[in-house]
Amino acid sequence: MSDMQDTMLTGSEGIKKTILHGGTGDLPKFITGTKVTFHFRTQLCDDERTVIDDSKKVGTPMEIVIGNMFKLDIWETLLSSMRIGEVAEFWCDTIHTGVYPLVSKSMRRIAEGKDPVEWQVHTCGMANMFAYHSLGYDDLDELMKEPKPLYFVLELLRVQQPSEYNRESWALSDEERLKAVPVLHGQGNKLYKQGHYQEAMQKYKEAIICIKNVQTKEKAWDVPWLKLEKMANTLTLNYCQCLLRMEEYYEVIEHTTDIISQHPGVAKAFYLRGKAHKEVWNEAEARQDFTRVLDLDPGMKKAVKKELAVLSMRMEEKNQEDRNKYKGMF
């Protein structure tokens, strides 16, 4: 062991560090954009030291970019106390381990190939994860219900400064996010064609989250922002097509109205909103939307004609039903 101070993380409450294998050189410096590559093993503090996650089993080390919205900031603290090649065990109290199950779920899904996106994207979905009752893994649900202190065994492999791996530290993750979009879009379309609407929606939603993540860094209404906005709208309308199939008509009206209020020239938004209005017997609104479709895209004449015919038929049926209902009342 080198100095005693290595075992103590100065100024950090609820952390105990033990060096298992000394590293070399000085403590690397962490700045925004520094890329850190390391192996980790997470264990419970029970007698068996039950292993929860182990990156060596998965076969690929973990990579995080400092300052890049990584949600388990305690790891940044732990890693910054290590030298290259060092292996250390950290005992961390509950105040530091509360979000671990959420982070672990993201990592597991990527390892299982369920989420093809580099996983920083997924941390932005953190807020909605809290809404789910189950994380889909029993051991994580257990930890979620009752957070416990954990052991993290970390092995620091590499530390690269932004200038060493990529001038623009954000470019990497954003580029990867945008690369994921057409992949997710394609998967969504395939699932939609197979009639798996719920799963298709999930793919479209993930793609939208990727785009929105990148879009926040652009200036609103500038060309790059608009390009991303167009991509997001296309995906949102695909999402709405799934909702129509699942008979969630009011939700369709809500999403399409959002798009129309920002971008009044999107024919498909009026078309899908018209279809939703038709299903809930809003005759005037449906006719208005279908008329807008024809103004914006005369090529959709045939489809609109069909929708209007169905609308007339449905209104006729409904009026007949209403007449019969009231007949007995007078």
Of 172-176, 185-189, 283-287, least confident by mean pLDDT is 172-176
Structure token pair of residue 36: 């850190």
Structure confidence at residue 115 as a pLDDT band (50, 70, 90): low
Query: Among residues of the chain, what percentage have pLDDT more than 90?
Result: 50
Reply yes or no on whether the pLDDT at 275 is more than 60. Answer: yes
Say what the pLDDT of residue 11 is: 55
